[in-house]
Amino acid sequence: MMNEELEQQASLYALGLLEGEENSAFGAQLAANEELRAFVDAMQETAAHLAYGTPLRQPPAHLESRIRAAIHTEPTTITHRSTSLNWLPWALAAGLAVASVFLLADRAATKKELAELRSRNAFAQLRIATLSSKLSSAPSATGVVVWDAEKQEGVLKVANVPATEQDQDYQLWIVDPDYKQPVDAGVFAVDAKGAKKILFKPKAKITAASAFAVSLERKGGAPKAEGPMVLLGK
């Protein structure tokens, strides 16, 4: 339900004025609240009109061809669908091997191992996050993300996640305070046992991954999170 404070946060979010934890927290709320998303979208539509309030200034004629040339030299868009895991970057594989144990074993002992892993220079750029279930119907659903900020890629492993309908996919999102919306990191489907392991690359450069979330979306994914949140972790 909307209230004045939420509208205020939404207005600030629509203008990119929320920062850090405030932005991450609001982003998480947004992912789970369609009414709130509709409000933010409406505020952005309104704010965008401010662009019409500026004095008209034409770009120079040569700029269009310069932009075309820049586009033609861009590398091919990287697919963000899950890729084969016959080969994983070794740092991710090592991080995942340890983090996977976290899903099953004693958390206290594994946390100590993870801390030790991070302290080694070779793993300093890794971020490991555990994802917990947001589904009341599947409380044991869980996941772990190993994120390599330097290489801008990561691996997600999930377990005990319910199967989807044929016209649905799970979609991974990365919450980065630099972006108004969580960043799309790809879609996946779980196997018969409710498990999946994917290598992912986000659609945009991640400066600081403050949270990872999985939502249930239409087949092929959505440009912005629309469906219910399934897993969330920091």
What's the residue count for the chain? 234
CA 26 – CA 8 distance, rounded (Å): 11
Q: Which is nearer to other proteins, 113 or 178 (CB)?
A: 178
Binding residue for other proteins, selected from 21, 35, 106, 191, defined by CB under 8 A: 35
- The half-sphere exposure of 178 on its side-chain side, counting CA atoms within 13 A, is 8
34 binds other proteins (CB under 8 A): yes
Q: Which is nearer to other proteins, 39 or 200 (CB)?
A: 39
Binding residue for other proteins, selected from 42, 97, 122, 124, defined by CB under 8 A: 42
| Token code pair at residue 98 | 């340890």
Stretch that binds other proteins, among 65-73, 99-107, 139-147, 193-201 (CB under 8 A): 65-73
Cα of 124 vs its chain's centroid, Å:
21
DSSP state of 58: P
Beta strands in 60-219 (DSSP E): 126-133, 142-148, 153-159, 168-175, 183-188, 196-200, 211-218
Binding residue for other proteins, selected from 33, 94, 136, 180, defined by CB under 8 A: 180
Per CB under 8 A, residues contacting other proteins are: 1-8, 11-12, 14-17, 19, 34-35, 38-39, 41-61, 63-64, 66-68, 70-71, 74, 77, 180, 184, 203, 222-224
